[in-house]
Structures are given as C-alpha cells and as structure tokens.
C-alpha cells in the first residue's frame, strides 16, 4: 500500500504530499512510541533494579514468592511486556495527530485576539489542540508508569503494607506521582483556554460563569495540583504517605467544589435570573466571532415591502432579467439526457445535473450540463478485457440552454452527440476521470500497436465503432514486473500479471472521481459534495470547490457539516458531507481535475486565509497563486454550494444585530422543506441569473429563502453573487419581508399553484388518468416587479415505457395572489399581469407544441371539463380526407423508423429531427380526419 501510494502521488505530481505525510507519521510514531515505552518500560526496569534482595516479612506468601522468583528470572521479558504495548499504543496515538502536529509547526497568525485572554485565534486553531494532546499523552504515560511501578514494587517486595515500603520504592513512586500531578496541573491550566471553544447550553465559547468563576476555579485547581505534586516529591525525604495522600484528596474535593458546585450555584442564582443582561457582552463576542468565522460579517439586509397587487407592464423594469429564468430543472431533466443523448447503454449521466454558464453569441446564458460517462453496468459482456481495457472512458460534454426548450418540450442543446457538436468550443471530449467510473482501467500501448479502447460507437468504416489509445500523462506505469505484481496484489486481480494487454507502455488509472483526487492531493481540505464539468481552454475539466475548516475557532458557533448541507438535492444525488463539527470555514481553494489525464490543479482562492497559508507552508508548491487562474476558467467558477448552505444555516439565527433578539430567538429563520420533492428535506439553493432590486443588470447568483421558525410564510429572500469574474463576487444580500404583511412561502405557494382551478383543470389529464403523467420542477423565487415572483416548470412524461423521459410542457407562475399557467413563461406572465407583463422572455408561444407527442397523449378530458372550467364549445363537423390521413400516417411511420435507425447509430441530431417530422405527420393525419 505504501509503495503504490507513492507511485500514485508521483503520477499526480504531488510527491511532497506523500513524503511529508509519510515521514511525519513515521517520526511521530517512533518518537511517541519510544517516549511512551521509555516512560513505562523504563520505570518498570527501574522498579526491578530497585527491588529488595529478598521478599520476606510478615506479609510474604507462597504465591507472591512464586511471582517474585519468576520475575527475577525473566527481567528482560518483564520489561518487554510493558514496553512493547506502550510503544505500539503510544506510537499509534502520535500517528493519529499527524495533521495536528503539521499545523502547529507551521501555524500562521489570524491577527484576531480573543476578548478574554488576548491570544491570537491561531493559538486555538493550531497550538491548543497540539498542546492538549502532548499534555494528555504525557499524563497517561506517567499514570500507567506509576501503576506499573507500584505493581512491580509490590510483587518484588518493595511494598509490603501501609507502613512497610522500602526507601527506594517510596522515592520512585513519589517521583512518578509528583510528575503525573505536575502534568495534570498543566492540563488544568490549558483547560482555561478550552473554555473559549467549549459548548454550553447558551452558546459556544466564553460565558459569564466561565469568565468570572471557571477560569479562576481552574487556576486554583491547577495551583492545588502543583502543590500536591510538590508534596509527593517532598515525600522522597519525608517518607510519609499521609500528607501527599491528604493533599490528593483535598485536590479532588476542591475540584468538585470549585469546578462544579460553585459554578453551578453562580449560574443558577446569579446568572439565570438575569441571563439576557448578564450574558449580553459574551453574546456580543460570540455573535461577532461566529460571523467572522463563517464569512458573514458583511451581509447586507434590507427591508422589502413586497407588493402583491398586479397591473399591466409591472415587470418592464425587470425585462432584462426575465429571459434568463432557468426553467430546465437539473434535478428532473436527467432522464431526458439519458434518452436523447445516451447513445448506448454503456454511457450514462448523473441523477442530478449541474448548472453552469456560457457566453453564446456574446450573450451569457445559464446552462444545464453533464458529462457522458462510462457506465460498466450497461455492458452486455462483463469480461475482464472489456471492463478493464476496452470500455475505459466516456465521451463528451452535453449541455442544454437553461431557459430554452424545443417545441416538443425537449431541451435545446448547446452541445450534443458523438462527436460533440453545437455552440460550445471544440475540446478534448474523452473522459477517463469522472464521477461515475470508479473502477480501475489499464490503458496505453506501444507506438504502432493496434488500439483496443472503444472510442465512439460509430464513425469508423461501415459505421463501425472507432478505437483509440490513451496518450495522457496521468496514470501509474505498470510495464515492469514489480509494478504489475504490486497492483495485482492491491486489487486482488491476477489478470494484471497474466494479460498480454498489460504491456511495457501500459498505465493503470484508478481513484478516478474528481472529489477523491482532490481530497487525496490535498488531504487538509474538505471537498464540496458536488463537482461540475466545464470546457476550459479546449479541455474538459471538473471544477471542485474545497474548504479549509476548523473546529476550534474561539467563541464561534459549532455546527454539523452534514446536517447543514443536507437537502433535497443531496438526498436525490446520494452525496453528503461527513458528520463532523466545524466552527470556521473558508472556500480557500478552487481545484480542477482534467477529465482526460486526471491532472489535479489547486488554486489559492482566499489567499488571506491563515489556515490556507499554514498548509501552503506544510506542502509547498502544491497550491498555485490566484493570479494563475485563466480568464476562461474564471468565467466558470461559481460560489460553492456547501459554503452557501452552511452560511444559510448560520444566518438563520445570526442575521440579527441585537443580542437580546438573538437570545430570545423571536426572529429565528429556518430553511423551508422542499414542497416539490415532498421528502421532508430542506429546499435546495438554486443557481440562476437574477436582477437584484435597484441593480442595473442580472447577475448569476445562488438563491434561497427563509420562513419564520414553525411557520410557512416567507421571512426573507437571500442571494449571493455567484459569478467569480465579478468584483462583488461572494456578496450576500437579504431582502427581509415586512412583519406586518403575510407573504406566502414556498410551501404555501406550491399549494396555491397546484390547487388553482385553472392549473388543476389543465393538468388533470396528466395527474389523474391517461398515458402521461406530470412532474413539477424546481420552484424558483425571484424579486421582481416590486414583489416576489414564483416560477415552476411542469414536465409531462408518458407512463409504463422504458423510453420515456420528462418534457417541459407548462410553466406556472404566481405573483401576489394571482396564479396562471401557460405553455410558455411569457404566456403565463401575461395572464398574471392582466394581459401584459411588460417583459419579453424571448419565447414564441406559436412555436411551442401545444399537444404532447402521440405516445404522450393523455386520456380525453371528461365531459364538461375544459382547461378554463367553462362549457366546451360545440364542435363544428369537419371534413375527412382519408387519403391524406393515410399518406400522413405512412410518412409518420417512415420518420419513426428513421429515427430509430439514427438512434442505433448514435446520430442523435437526426434522431430528434425525424421524431419531429413524425409528430408533424401525425398532426397532419389528425387534421385530415377532422380532429
């Protein structure tokens, strides 16, 4: 394992990460192990050296005499019996503190002093954890050495009773007990500083009782421990155990009184009756530290008197932003990507797609993107050669406009097909490193050797599959016998040794997911739960956000990373952060992973972060300066999801400025549950371009909403500038709703939309009967027109079919109390705003297919029911042209057959074109039949 790890890090170009960790671990294991063994085994050996020549006297017994004789004849074995376990346990304890040691050795000051002791925050983040470990390590080593020495002195006869102890045994045990108590006094002294990061029922950090009582109490207890230690050391000459033992008992009693009873009494009788006033300065310190630790000190909060009345032209001021509303839901549209762009069963897309933005024809637009990756479960033949040497990589980025659709409701593609075509720039499309392909592959071959890796399903002679050979820098060479043997053992796969496809130029690629590669290249970082693909300078790369975190920033609120970042999206994607506590977080690093050769590049994003500066000292030249980020890459960087979720969680309580309000929790905000997902999980933040009230232009942002605690109405709307190319990137702004006016939240709005009579009648055929069903997309919230606009796309999908996928059919909007549904966003907006919203979304209602495809037609609307709730108009008898109908149906059948052939050949453009022709022919047939 050690050697293959070395090879892996070397192939990645991060040798310093491997060697620094390895030698630090070895050093800590050896030093800590030897120290523990020296303390424990050394004192065991000393106890044997100080043993009396014979064991006699009134306390002697045949059993003890037998032990005495046995130990005397096996002195070396006895010492080893204590030393070996001490070495292993002590070494393992030191090994576990590798990163604590490295951070302490290279610590960087924050320039922020704590309000109680005046120490820089770096002491708590870097120094305090290390010194707590050292003090604890030495204490327990001395404690067990004392027990071992006492046991051996007893067995050797040095201790024969309460008043029958040899001078040597007395001195030995007194010194050990005294040293143990001295170290305990140091631990108590350090515990004073631990109060700055301790959790109390009120807050994390120093409280009134801590500052006024516990600090003094721990100081007194440390002094008593020191005095008790001196008494034990004085017992070397006094040789009377009564005095040091009494001091030990007094130390324990004083710890009970000073450390527990007195602080509890002060809390109960002095603090609790006036807690808001007594704790006010400590709450202020806690609030300031929390906001600084999570980067939310400069959040702008403004009151927003959201209007609920509608009038014509109300959205005219926001006309520029409305065309950018993202209607394509990345959590719902995945099956459409699968059916329309999968090409073959061995390709796949993730369950939840990603949102990015591209500049097309000079206009920046939101895009829903996904990489077409290899899915080995879709292979018919699961032979070793297939899964390890042939089906080695995916092919191409697929991207759709976030705010457009085709007349059929399908996504409108920016990039599609194999090889990739569309509006995006040309790039290396092969994906050897991605989120779905986690198995190892063996790639590469000598020059001139015939390729064996499947490249594209078609495009060769007679439209046969094309083959390729990997030529990237990534991967570990396995051309020699030794490396073959290593990896055959590592993966328990003898085929690596036996297969002729493993040649002198072969490389093995593994640990292929972007998040894993970044986490291993920079183990001091916490990686975001989502990586997303982007085309950057002709390369397909994965962009990964990474964080520096701490659990010991003074006075800052501590929360669970897993709970703060879990929502409906992470539940669907089945990704989650670890259940670890943090009270400091920075998005300090932006990372990229090349999809072709696996190259990991780390860029310093928050270069002022002391934690990042510390780790750059530990692992020099692994993180590039921020200035090295190209403009093309910068245009795709965005505000990270997990960072925003953590800040959202903290701001729910820490948005207030008044300590009394914070204490009373009367203005507590919470993230609402996702009404569309219906899983009881929190609503996910959304990436979309919005125009903030008062701004001149829309900006790519990440948005969320709050509701009051235990309520469903809207409390506030929050957004962060997510466009990294802008100067005010990362600026968080909040619109606080009026406390005197009810503004419905997402749950109430979703209920109003789905129960609206017109909406219900329009969707009834899809929800209650027929061959197609309806699915609700993401419920977006936008501050426009002086109020709040809710937008929800509705998708329809035919049932009971393996080839079905959701297609965007309707858009439901709500402003104030008015709800409308339309085939397009433009149509729905105009209905809400009395026939004229004042904004043009760029959609052409006449170009939208009002009817679902023939295989998605719902059942007939029940008699008397129409989408408007009015009586259906009398139908005019139409003429029937049977000849024209038959001709149209024949053309439809031919077009469907051509579409199937195109799909089989991987020509997705022709597939969609022929499907559209077939649907048009079906409509002509229906018209010819008078329908």
pLDDT exceeds 60 at position 192: yes
Pick the closest to residue 625 from 586, 585, 587, 589 (CA basis): 589
Say if residue 98's pLDDT is above 60.
Answer: yes
The whole-angstrom separation of Cα 144 and Cα 36 is 10
- pLDDT at position 800 is 61
What percent of the chain has a predicted confidence (pLDDT) above 90?
63
Give the helix/strand (H/E) hosting 821.
strand 818-822
| Cβ contacts of 102 within 8 Å, gap of 6 or more | 20, 24, 618
Please check the confidence at residue 929 and state whether its pLDDT lies above 70: no
Give 665's pLDDT tier (boundaries 50, 70, 90): very high
Q: Give the end-to-end CA distance of the chain in Å, rounded to a whole number.
A: 71
Q: In a 3-state reduction of DSSP, which class is residue 61?
A: coil
Strand partners, 399: 369, 415
pLDDT band (50, 70, 90) for residue 875: very low
Tens-digit pLDDT profile for residues 393-411:
999 999 999 988 888 889 9
List, in sequence order, the alpha helices (H) in 50-161: 62-73, 75-95, 98-105, 121-122, 128-156
Number of neighbours of residue 447 by Cβ within 10 angstroms: 7
480 has pLDDT over 80:
yes
Three-state DSSP string of 708-733: ECCCCECCEEEEEECECCCCCCCCEE
Exposed, middle or buried, 163 (CB in 10 Å: 0-12/13-18/19+)? exposed
More confident residue, 909 or 651: 651
CB 365 within 8 A of CB 402: yes
pLDDT mean over 604-625: 97
Contacts of 207 (CB under 8 A, 6+ apart): 200, 271, 279, 282
Residues 6 or more apart in contact with residue 417 via CB below 8 angstroms:
341, 343, 396, 906, 907, 908, 909
SS3 592: strand
Range with the lowest mean pLDDT among 389-393, 457-461, 624-628? Answer: 457-461
What integer best gives the mean pLDDT of the chain? Answer: 87
Determine if the pTM surpasses 0.85.
yes
613-to-216, 226, 280, 524, 589 alpha-carbon distances in Å = 35, 38, 34, 12, 11
Assess contact for 245 and 204: CB atoms under 8 A: no
pLDDT of residue 857: 42
765 pLDDT tier (thresholds 50, 70, 90): confident
Sign of CA dihedral 685, 686, 687, 688: negative
State both tokens at 260: 């527990």
pLDDT classification of 303: cutoffs 50, 70, 90: very high
Half-sphere CA count of 224, side-chain side, radius 13 A: 22
CA-to-CA distance for 411 and 806, rounded, in angstroms? Answer: 10
Q: How would you classify the pairing of strands 581-582 and 526-536?
A: unpaired
What pLDDT is stored for residue 69 in this prediction? 57
By C-alpha distance, which of 735, 691, 693, 686 is closest to 714?
A: 735
> Over the stretch 419-464, which tens digit does the pLDDT of each residue have?
889 888 788 999 999 999 889 999 999 988 999 999 988 876 667 8
pLDDT band at 876 (very low <50, low <70, confident <90, very high): very low
226: Cβ contacts below 8 Å, ≥ 6 apart: 181, 182, 185
Nearest CA to 851 among 407, 327, 413?
407
3-state secondary structure of 163: coil
Contact 558, 124 (CB under 8 A): no
pLDDT for res 877: 42
Distance, CA of 597 to CA of 377 (rounded, Å): 23
């Amino acid at each position: 394992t050690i050697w293959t790890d070395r090879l892996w890090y070397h192939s990645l170009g991060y040798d310093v990460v491997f060697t620094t960790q390895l030698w630090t671990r070895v050093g800590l294991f050896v030093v800590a192990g030897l120290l523990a063994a020296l303390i424990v085994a050394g004192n065991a050996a000393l106890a044997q050296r100080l043993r009396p020549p014979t064991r006699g006297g009134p306390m002697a017994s045949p059993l003890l005499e037998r032990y005495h004789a046995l130990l005397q004849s096996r002195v070396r074995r006895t010492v080893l019996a204590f030393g070996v376990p001490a070495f292993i346990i002590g070494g393992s304890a030191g090994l576990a503190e590798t990163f604590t040691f490295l951070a302490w050795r290279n610590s960087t000051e924050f320039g922020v002093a704590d309000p109680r002791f005046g120490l820089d925050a770096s002491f708590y983040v870097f120094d305090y954890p290390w010194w707590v470990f050292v003090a604890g390590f030495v204490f327990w080593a001395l404690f067990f050495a004392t027990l071992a020495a006492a046991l051996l002195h007893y067995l050797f006869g040095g201790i024969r009773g309460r008043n029958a102890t040899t001078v040597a045994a007395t001195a030995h045990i007194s010194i050990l007990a005294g040293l143990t108590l001295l170290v305990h006094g140091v631990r108590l002294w350090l515990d004073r500083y631990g109060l700055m990061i301790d959790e109390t029922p009120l807050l994390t950090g120093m409280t009134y009782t801590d500052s006024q009582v516990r600090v003094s109490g721990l100081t007194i207890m440390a002094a008593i421990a020191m005095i008790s230690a001196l008494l034990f050391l004085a017992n070397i000459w006094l040789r009377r155990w009564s005095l040091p033992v009494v001091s030990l008992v007094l130390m324990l009693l004083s710890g009970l009184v000073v450390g527990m009873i007195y602080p509890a009494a002060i809390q109960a009788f002095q603090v609790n009756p006036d807690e808001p006033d007594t704790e006010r300065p400590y709450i202020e310190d806690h609030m300031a530290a929390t906001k600084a630790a999570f980067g939310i000190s400069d959040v702008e909060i403004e009151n927003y008197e959201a209007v609920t009345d509608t009038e014509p032209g109300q959205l005219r001021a926001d006309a520029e932003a409305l065309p950018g509303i993202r209607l394509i839901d990345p959590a719902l549209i995945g099956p459409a990507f699968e059916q329309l762009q999968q090409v073959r069963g061995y390709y796949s897309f993730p369950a939840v797609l990603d949102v990015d933005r591209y500049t097309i024809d000079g206009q920046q637009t939101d895009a829903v993107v996904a990489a077409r990756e290899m899915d080995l479960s879709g292979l018919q033949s699961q032979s070793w050669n297939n899964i390890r040497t042939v089906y080695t990589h995916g092919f191409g980025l697929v991207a759709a406009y976030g705010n457009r659709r085709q007349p059929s409701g399908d996504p409108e593609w920016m990039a599609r097909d194999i090889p990739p075509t569309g509006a995006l720039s040309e790039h290396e499309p092969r994906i050897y490193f991605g989120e779905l392909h986690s198995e190892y592959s063996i790639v590469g071959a000598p020059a001139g050797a015939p390729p064996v890796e499947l490249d594209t399903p078609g495009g060769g002679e007679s439209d046969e599959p094309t083959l390729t050979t990997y030529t990237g820098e990534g991967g570990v060479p396995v051309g020699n016998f030794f490396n073959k043997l290593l990896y055959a053992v590592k993966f328990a796969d003898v085929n690596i040794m036996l297969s002729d496809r493993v040649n002198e130029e072969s490389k093995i690629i593994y640990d292929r997911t972007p998040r894993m590669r970044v986490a291993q290249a920079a183990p001091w970082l916490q990686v975001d739960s989502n990586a997303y693909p982007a085309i950057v300078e002709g390369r397909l790369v994965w962009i990964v956000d990474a964080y520096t975190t701490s659990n010991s920033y003074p006075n800052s609120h501590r929360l669970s990373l897993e709970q703060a970042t879990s929502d409906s999206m992470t539940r669907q994607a089945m990704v989650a952060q670890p259940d670890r506590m943090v009270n400091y977080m920075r998005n300090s690093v932006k990372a990229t992973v090349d999809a072709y050769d696996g190259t990991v590049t780390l860029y310093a994003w928050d270069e002022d972060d002391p934690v990042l500066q510390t780790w750059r000292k530990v692992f020099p030249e692994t993180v590039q300066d921020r200035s090295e980020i190209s403009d093309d890459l910068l245009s795709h960087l965005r505000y990270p999801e997990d960072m925003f979720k953590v800040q959202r969680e903290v701001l729910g309580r820490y948005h207030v400025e008044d300590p009394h309000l914070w204490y009373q929790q009367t203005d507590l905000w919470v993230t609402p549950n996702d009404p569309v997902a219906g899983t009881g999980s929190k609503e996910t933040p959304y990436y979309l371009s919005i125009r903030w009230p008062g701004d001149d232009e829309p900006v790519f942002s990440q948005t969320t909403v709050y509701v009051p605690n235990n309520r469903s109405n809207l409390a506030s709307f929050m957004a962060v500038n997510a466009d990294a190319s802008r100067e005010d990137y990362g600026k968080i702004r909040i619109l606080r709703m009026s406390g005197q006016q009810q503004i419905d939240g997402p749950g109430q709005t979703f209920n109003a939309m789905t129960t609206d009579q017109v909406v219900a009648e329009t969707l009834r055929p899809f929800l209650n009967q027929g061959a197609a069903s309806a699915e609700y997309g993401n419920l977006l919230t936008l501050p426009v027109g002086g109020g709040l606009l809710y937008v929800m796309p509705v998708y329809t999908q035919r049932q009971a079919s393996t080839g079905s996928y959701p297609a965007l059919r309707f858009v439901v909007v709500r402003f104030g109390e008015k709800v409308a549904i339309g085939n397009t966003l433009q149509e729905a907006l105009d209905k809400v705003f009395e026939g004229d919203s004042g904004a043009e979304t760029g959609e052409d209602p006449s170009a939208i297919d009002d009817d679902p495809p023939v295989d998605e037609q719902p059942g007939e609307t029940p008699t008397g029911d129409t989408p408007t709730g009015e009586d259906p108009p009398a139908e005019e008898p139409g003429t029937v042209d049977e000849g024209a109908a038959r001709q149209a149906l024949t053309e439809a059948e031919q077009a469907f057959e051509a579409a199937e052939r195109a799909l089989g050949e991987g020509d997705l453009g022709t597939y969609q074109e022929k499907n559209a022709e077939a649907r048009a022919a079906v409509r002509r047939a229906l018209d010819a039949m008078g329908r």
